[in-house]
Structure 1
Amino acid sequence: MNTSSPSQSQHPGGLSASARGLMFGAMAIVFGDIGTSPLYTIKEAFSPQYGLVANHDTVLGLLSLVFWSLMLVVTLKYVTVILRADNEGEGGIIALMTLTRRFVAKGTRSAYLIGVVGIFGAALFFGDGVITPAISVLAAVEGLQVVSPRLNGLVIPLTLLVLVALFSIQRYDTARFTRLLFGPIAGLWFFVLALMGVMNILHDPEVLKAVNPLWAAQFFADHTFGGIFILGAVILAVSGGEAIYTDLGRFGARPIRRAWYFFVLPALMLNYLGQGALVLENPEAARNPFYMGVPEWGLVPMILLSTAATVMASQAVIAGSFSVAHQAMQMGYIPRMTVRHTSSSNISQIYIPAINWWMMAIVVGLVVGFGSSSALASAYGVSMSMTMLIDTVLLAVVARALWPRWRVWVIPLCIVLLMIDLAFIVANFVKIPLGGWFPVALGVVLFTMLRTWRRGRKLLRAEIQKDGIDLRTFLPGLMLAPPVRVPGTAVFLTADKHVVPHAFLHNLKHNKVLHEQNVFLTVATLNVPYSHKRMVVEQMGDGFYKVLLRFGFMETPDVPQALMQTCDVCELVLDPMDTTYFLSRENVVACVRRGGMPLWRDKLFGAMHRNAAPVAGYFHIPGNRLVELGAQVEI
């Protein structure tokens, strides 16, 4: 009996309409970055800095390295194995870090090291992420130079115009553009990549031999130790591998795997082999084999399609940056920022203005400062190779703890992948003087800020708790001679549910009243994407309640909504129009005598704390129901 619903109508190929939609969506978003790599990978491999000669053995060896990098790093590591390491359906380096920390004792050195390594990987992800829009759009627009050298002066202005327009539309519902444009563009893009590859392979089918790994081994034998540095160009072919894992929660593992196995990987390899055949036939084509393989009549349409595809890839990187930043914010690693939901139908589609405009400023600076995709390629890959290594290390920990049946082969595989990651790191470190320092420096700066915020919050909480009064001993004494009770409910937000909130003490001291209902509210972020039990209520008597609200790191902490939705199952009754929220707003003062952090980090934390978005806005507390009480704290 057929039980499928009309919305799940089957295609003759066996896939439902929703499955096909997810698969083509994955082609557009998940593989947007890696899908535009053919624009510059082979071209950069033959740039003067590597000194390669476009002869038969070199071309086949290079193509073999590209093929096996795609097979081992992307197909085996990310698509086949690491997608299984989901944190309740969510992926990305922060999700992997939180998953890993479940299997080590809290507060141990191992837990600390995993946290440091994971956050460093997230910082490096941002470091290389800002290069992707710049290098991909630049590489696409540089096709104008093939049309006519006289158009060279238009490359930078047109690139900036495209990028500024892209960042400017992020405040709107970009899912609408994704549905209407990116899916068809992705399908057309990968079809054209495959078609170009087949047409060029027919000129010299000899390149098909490159799938034999012996050609890669022969390449290293011919170029000795110096041959390893070509991996600095080969890594461009696998750029975007981390995005495959980051977008796991958005599309699911099965659509991602299907898109890769049946569409993206064949199209990419056909195109790379086609570029190799073109270089074998005409070594001069090595200066830009992607566009040199396009018929003259098709150059302008191909430039337009390439630009659209790179916009698609850049959109994926920007959306991924918003998602990772939101996760880090929820986990307490970066200050609170304004988060806006730009879609009424997709809760995961968010826009973070501060991240958007900072990214735009950096991307524009990269385009102007480096001036060409070749120069940017020299800066690309250092951070990415380090992030890939961190993923491998965390995967090994997860496999050892979570996959007892598979760890027999996954852990040895991780050792092999670790050697490959180290080879990529060695190859890319020579890029540091050529511009590779930039993503590393940006990653280090971001890592310092992340760790400073995390450490500063702990010190701030410790200082507040130092003079704190135990809640259970304070309330009985208070009720011996209670102040005047007034109608309504007061909600006091506190980070420590065992200590009397400062806002509660200030309210008693200055207003000298006690509400009919008093709620001591603590908001906790879990190491899982979504909380399965939202609220825990403890009745303390005399109208006092301790409430714990729990949110996953992928959720938006809407405190009033969560309270109203869950309080109907307990004795606590809240009227939104008769509830007042009390917050304590601390003014952080750096003090050299405290010794918690160096003075410069204390000052950095103080500046970050002052510029963080207000707690009320972050928790969606209405301003007309809010009372803030200030306090000065030295750290």
Structure 2
Amino acid sequence: MSSVPEATGHPAHPHPALVATTVGAIGVVFGDIGTSPIYAFRTALALTTADGAEANEVIGVLSLALWSLIFVVTIKYVVFLMRADNHGEGGVLALTALARRGLGKRSLIALVLGASGAALFYGDAIITPALSVLSAVEGLKTLPGAGNMFSDDLILLLTIAILIGLFAIQSRGTAQVSKLFGPVCILWFVCIGGLGLWHITDEISILRAFLPHYGAIFLFTHGVTGLFVLGAVFLTVTGAEALTADMGHFGRRPIRIGWFALVLPCLFLNYLGQGAFVLSALEAAHAAGGDIGDRDWFFLMAPEPVRPVLVILAMLATIIASQAVITGAFSLTQQAIQLGLLPRLRIRQTSASQAGQIYLPSINWMLLAGVLILVVQFRTSSSMAAAYGIAVTGTMVVTTCLAYIVVRHTWGWSRLRAIPLIAPFLVLDVIFFGANILRVIEGGWVPLLVAAVIGFMIYTWVRGRGIVRAFEKRQSIPLADLAAALAKRPPERVEGTAVFLTANAEGAPGALLHNLKHNKVLHERNLIVSIRTADRPFVDADERVRAKPIDDNFSSVVLTYGFMESPDVPHDLGLARGDERKLLNPAKTSYFIGRNTIKPVADVGMPIWQDRIFMFLQRNASDPTDFFHIPPGKVLELGEQVTV
């Protein structure tokens, strides 16, 4: 029986809580798409007006922008994809986990799509802070009398200083600062909506842009140029992925309320206002026998006395948008680690009350390095805009493909229902992706290169771990057989408890076998502990621990975590300091972890050069004691040589 599942993970919000949650969602979810008016319309229009502009061309470009917001963001994401949540969580990896559940043993295709989407997201995470902050700082050039004061080099230095400051404060967490995000973003949307409304009266005929045939005529009459413009128009919907990615933090209803009640109307008003302002300037330019050229239309809309305030507000809004993308990169990395796509990395909690507030030092500094390279390389927001759309459109194609798998295999829809629903979205995504691919030479290669590097790292890690696991499985013996053998011929016993961490709950861990072989002792109590990652974001406490006694000496314990949770082995075994359960005595417990030495061999497994990349990833992975929250003084590592 086919059906659309009921919403899960979104409790009904009482009225005051709903208002507060909606304000928070406006501050976090819509920062990226909300700052697009600064550069999106200007970039698209500049491609059109290179050899002069006509009024119908301005309206055609604007029509494409408005209908992109309607189809891509409103219908695809807000109306449809927000229903495809994984226990309240959204985003490309949450959708991947949902798709894998529906495919079962055939889930490799979903995993590949998810890894591709994650890789493309990192390209987006590097470009968004660079482009948005640089475009806002460029607004200083529009201040009265300040055009010569703010040179390109000074704009660049100010942008770099802001970006370094933004990434430097990540380690302190954003719990306190984020309380200002909502009010600042609400003020931002009200201001840009008001500016747009004020200028619509400059040329009321701009409302014709709501007629879709203007956009269609523009595309059909401009050939290849029309496709380039379409790629630039896509900048108006960048940030749409955040609507689903942040569902777990805010819920579906507050995000929808924020979009329909404030964000979408204000975006419409601002783009219409920019279009009317351009038409008015175009009429004046034609009357004087000139042309409009490429101007910073967004900031020029503001009257000169209030323009400095708009520039400052734009800087704050772009910093908030960048913060949301950085936080998203942290969350995505945590999910990828839990799903086994990346090696363990050091994860720090920055808030005692909010589990989602995390900080990953390695990801933070790698993102900063990539952002600064982009800013120095491209120097202006106009040249950088060419690099933006490919990563976002690629992620959207992946998301649509995963949505089809979810609709078809998880929701149980027939092909006759699923294909007509998904096909229009996929066709639109592919068209946008194709339009952006045309700009590869101009800068679009940057996100593709970043995605290729991340994707190859994911492939190498997954393949290398598969080889190691296969080796460990060959070397392992069934735990029940070992327990029976030791019961007949018991070794020397020592007091206390031994916790052996392993990936295979049914097999004897390599660390246990090495301990018996070399130390020839067995603890009084032995827990064979394996960590499992569920296909949902969070696991209830009563489902966390599953213990099965093997005999008087051994017990098999499975700890299950959601893909957005951080494992805490001592706590969940009742070994944490101050734990009321006191299942075991922490002072008499030792943890044994298998750590094999990797040896590259040319004719086994992967090529030598790929072996060395895998070894580099493994060496730089976070220490298991940190990742599993194990007391450092209680760990013993045992292993052997493995050829990959």
TM-score of the pair, normalised by structure 2: 0.92
1:161-560 equivalence runs, <5 A: 161-179=161-179, 181-224=180-223, 226-283=225-282, 284=292, 286-403=294-411, 411-532=419-540, 533-560=543-570
Q: 1:205 and 1:521, CA in 2 relative to 1: closer, same or farther beyond 3 A? A: same
Q: Secondary structure at the match of 2:602?
A: coil
The 8 Å contact of residues 186 and 309 in structure 1, kept in 2 or not, is answered as yes
d(CA) in 1 for partners of 2:470 and 2:299? 60
- Residue 145 of structure 1 deviates from its aligned partner by 1.4
**Structure 1 position 112, deviation (Å):** 1.4
Alpha carbons 1:46, 1:53 under 8 Å: kept: no
Moved more, 244-253 or 495-504: 495-504
1:588/1:609 contact within 8 Å kept = no
Q: Counterpart amino acid of 1:544?
A: F
Deviations 1:151-203 (A, max 9, x none): 12321111111111110111113021011x21111110000011000111111
For 1:254 and 1:405, locate their aligned partners in 2 and report how far apart those are by CA, in whole Å: 25
Separation (CA, whole Å) in 1 of partners of 2:262 and 2:92: 26
Query: Structure 2: which 5+ runs fail to align?
Result: 1-11, 283-291
Which residue type is aligned with residue 601 of structure 1? Q
Name the structure 1 match of 2:155: 155
Decide whether the 8 Å contact of 2:46 with 2:293 is kept in 1: no
Deviates further, 319-328 or 56-65: 56-65
Does 2:589 align with 1:579? yes
CA distance in 1, matches of 2:427, 2:49: 22
Q: Distance in 1 between matches of 2:310 and 2:601?
A: 60
Paired amino acid for 1:214: H
By how many angstroms is 1:114 displaced? 1.8
Q: Secondary structure at the match of 1:282?
A: helix
- Percent of aligned pairs with the same amino acid: 43
Q: CA deviation at 1:479?
A: 2.1
Kindly provide the amino acid, as one letter, of the partner of residue 168 in structure 2: S
CA–CA separation in structure 1 for the residues paired with 2:455 and 2:619: 19
Range moving further from structure 2, 528-537 or 270-279: 528-537
The amino acid across from 2:278 in the alignment is V
The AA in structure 1 aligned to 2:141 is Q
Structure-1 residue corresponding to 2:139? 143
Deviation by residue 1:52-94 (Cα, 9 ceiling, x = unmatched) = 6432101111111001000000000011100100011111101
Structure 1 match to 2:572: 562
For the Cα contact (< 8 Å) 2:505–2:528, is it kept in 1?
yes
SS in 2 for 1:378: helix
Shift of 1:98: 1.0
Residue in 1 that maps onto 2:608: 599
Q: Is the 8 A contact 2:45 2:61 kept in 1?
A: no
What is the Cα deviation at residue 486 of structure 1? 1.8
Following superposition, the deviation at residue 592 of structure 1 comes to 1.3
Question: Distance between the aligned counterparts of 1:294 and 1:489, measured in 2?
Answer: 70
Counterpart contact for 2:589–2:634, Cα < 8 Å? yes
Equivalent AA in structure 2 for residue 482 of structure 1: P
* 1:406 Cα deviation after fit: 9.6
State the shift of 1:46 in Å: 2.3
AA of the residue aligned to 1:624: G
Q: Output one character per residue of 1:284-323: Cα deviation in whole Å (capped at 9) or x when no partner.
A: 3751110110111112111110000000000000000000
For residues 91-110 of structure 1, what are the alpha-carbon distances to aligned partners after superposition, in whole Å with 9 as ceiling and x for unaligned?
A: 1101101101111131x3xx
Per the alignment, residue 611 of structure 1 pairs with 620
Verify the 8 A CA contact 2:22 2:258 in the aligned structure 1. Answer: yes
Match in the other structure for 1:131? 127
Q: Secondary structure at the match of 2:547?
A: strand
> Which stretch shifts more, 584-593 or 272-281?
584-593
Structure 1 pair 269–406 and aligned structure 2 pair: CA distance change class (3 A): farther
For the residue of structure 1 that corresponds to 2:331, the secondary structure is helix
Q: Check conservation: 2:125, 2:367, Cα contact below 8 A.
A: no
The 3 A distance-change label for structure 1 pair 528 and 358 is same
Counterpart in 2 of 1:121? 117
CA contact (8 A) 1:587 1:631 kept: yes
**Does the alignment pair 1:37 with 2:40?**
no
Q: Distance in 1 between matches of 2:278 and 2:428?
A: 27
Q: 1:516 offset after TM fit, Å?
A: 0.9
The aligned counterpart of 1:3 is none
The 3 A distance-change label for structure 1 pair 522 and 620 is: same
CA distance in 2, matches of 1:336, 1:272: 44
Structure 2 counterpart SS, 1:564 = coil
Query: How far apart, CA to CA, are the structure 2 residues paired with 1:132 and 1:163?
Result: 11
Rounded Cα–Cα distance in structure 1 between residues aligned with 2:27 and 2:376: 27
Aligned-residue offset at 1:581:
0.6
Offset at 1:50?
Answer: 7.2
Q: 1:478 to 1:249 in 2, by over 3 A?
A: same
* 1:65 corresponds to 2:61: no
Cα distance, 1:509 vs. partner?
Answer: 2.7
The aligned amino acid for 2:178 is T
> CA deviation digits over 1:118-160, x for unaligned, max 9?
1111100111221000000000000111122221232111111
1:512 is displaced (CA, Å) by: 2.4
- Cα separation, 1, equivalents of 2:359 and 2:124: 20
Q: Which AA in structure 2 matches 1:123?
A: A
Distance 1:268 1:409 in 2: 33
Is the contact between residue 125 and residue 387 of structure 1 (CA under 8 Å) also seen in structure 2?
Answer: yes
Structure 2 CA distance for partners of 1:502 and 1:365, relative to 1, 3 Å:
same
Distance 1:140 1:572 in 2: 56
Mapped partners of 1:354, 1:629: distance in 2: 27
Q: Which consecutive segments of 4 or more residues in structure 1 shift more than 4 A?
A: 404-410
Contact 1:587 1:610 in 2 (8 A): no
CA distance in 1, matches of 2:367, 2:243: 21
C-alpha separation in 2, matches of 1:234 and 1:52: 19
Which stretch has the larger CA shift, 423-432 or 44-53?
A: 44-53
TM-score w.r.t. length of structure 1:
0.94
CA displacement at 1:49 relative to structure 2: 7.7
CA separation in 2, counterparts of 1:357 and 1:302? Answer: 30
Deviation of the 1:511 alpha carbon: 2.6
Describe the superposition over 1:232-281 as per-residue Cα deviations: whole angstroms up to 9, x where unpaired: 11110000111111111111110000000110000011000000001000
Contact 1:32 1:312 survives alignment (8 Å): yes
RMSD, aligned CA = 2.1
Q: Which residue of 1 aligns with 2:629?
A: 620
Go from structure 1 to structure 2 and tell me whether the alpha carbon gap of 1:327 and 1:50 turns closer, same or farther (over 3 Å shift): farther
Segments of 5+ residues of structure 1 without an aligned counterpart are: 1-9
In 2, Cα distance between equivalents of 1:613 and 1:305: 39
User: How many pairs align?
Assistant: 616
Q: Which amino acid in the other structure matches residue 627 of structure 2?
A: Y
Q: Which amino acid aligns with 1:556?
A: S
